[in-house]
Structure 1
Amino acid sequence: MKTVDVNIEEKLFQNRYRVDIGRPHVLIKNVGVCTNDCADKSCTFVCPASCYRKENNGSVTLITDGCLECGSCRILCTEHHNLEWAYPRGGHGILFKFG
């Protein structure tokens, strides 16, 4: 059986994302909860699209452009309930392209 190398960045680049300007579908409710109450900041290394970034001051920044809408962040944040998450409006969000 032949082994095939897969480059994740190339596969993600094939997807398209239509930003709904001014209406992000994921919001951090309280940045202070991320900064003070969340020790591991797991969203910053589990999100496959790298939408979450840990800042030098311990806070977490969220940029939803390119979000894969997988829901990993929702699952990880169940302890703190610090995310507002909804699917993007019709015509916005991720458009998966396979090929």
Structure 2
Amino acid sequence: MTAVIDPIRDRAGLERKLATTSYHVDPGRPHIRIIDPDVCLQCQRKQCVNCCPAACYTLQPDGHVLFSYEGCVECGTCRIVCYEFHNIEWHYPRGGFGVQYRYG
């Protein structure tokens, strides 16, 4: 009997699909940023770290959250889950930049 893998929780499968995605990074002009990194120290849940499907948010040992926009899939999840502090500034990238999906 073969084990059935839940596609929602299959992190390795998600990473394989994300690897086929191409990004046109707009150097020096991120479309998402953490407004005040010190505000993240007050957040207990760190939902951006836990909810980002592309793992763009990384929790640092000192409690700060590091964000790397270069692999962002532009889903907007971080903006939604940061409802307590509203500490994410998000806008669409300029035309010609951002994510280009290769896997349907």
Query: Does the pair score TM above 0.5?
Result: yes
Q: Shift of the alpha carbon at 1:60?
A: 0.3
How do residues 55-74 of structure 1 correspond to structure 2 at under 5 angstroms?
55-74=60-79
Distance 1:19 1:67 in 2: 10
Instruction: For structure 2, list consecutive stretches of 5 or more residues without a partner in the other structure.
Output: 8-12
Count of aligned positions: 96
Aligned counterpart, 2:35: 29
Q: Shift of the alpha carbon at 1:79?
A: 1.4
Q: TM-score, normalised by structure 2?
A: 0.85
Distance 1:4 1:20 in 2: 39
Identity of aligned residues (%): 47
Distance 2:4 2:92 in 1: 34
Instruction: For structure 1, list consecutive stretches of 5 or more residues without a partner in the other structure.
Output: none
SS at match of 2:99: strand
Moved over 3 A (4+): 3-6
Aligned counterpart, 2:10: none
Q: Shift of the alpha carbon at 1:67?
A: 0.3
Aligned counterpart, 1:39: 44
